Structure 1
Amino acid sequence: MDAAHSGDADAAVTALVDLIEQLERTSAELASAVERAHEIVALREDGRSWQEIVSDEERPLIIERVSRVLAELGTAGNRVRREQARALMREDLTVTAVSKLFGVTRQRISILVQDESAEGPDR
Structure 2
Amino acid sequence: MTALEEVCATARQMITNGEQILERAAFIRDQRAVGASYREIVPAEPRPLIVELISDTLSQLADAGSRWRRAEARALHNEGLTMDVIARLFGVTRQRVSSLLKGPLDR
Structure 2-normalised TM-score? 0.90
Q: Which has the higher contact order (CA 8 A, sep 6+)?
A: 1
> Which runs of 5 or more structure 2 residues have no equivalent in the other structure?
none
* Alpha-carbon separation, structure 1, partners of 2:40 and 2:95: 50
Which residue is equivalent to 1:78? 66
After the TM superposition, which parts of structure 1 deviate over 4 Å for at least 4 consecutive aligned residues? none
- Residue number in structure 2 paired with 1:91: 79
Task: Identify if the C-alpha distance between structure 1 residues 117 and 55 changes in structure 2 by more than 3 Å, giving closer, same or farther.
Answer: farther
Give, in whole Å, the separation in 1 of the partners of 2:18 and 2:105.
26
Ranges in structure 1 where 5+ consecutive residues have no aligned partner: 1-12, 119-123
The amino acid across from 1:35 in the alignment is E
Q: Which amino acid aligns with 1:32?
A: Q
* Distance in structure 1 (CA, Å) of the matches to 2:18 and 2:36: 24
Report the count of equivalent residues: 106
* 1:10 paired residue number: none
Residue 48 of structure 1 aligns to a residue in which SS?
coil
Percent of residue pairs identical: 42
Look up the SS of the partner of 1:93 in the other structure.
coil
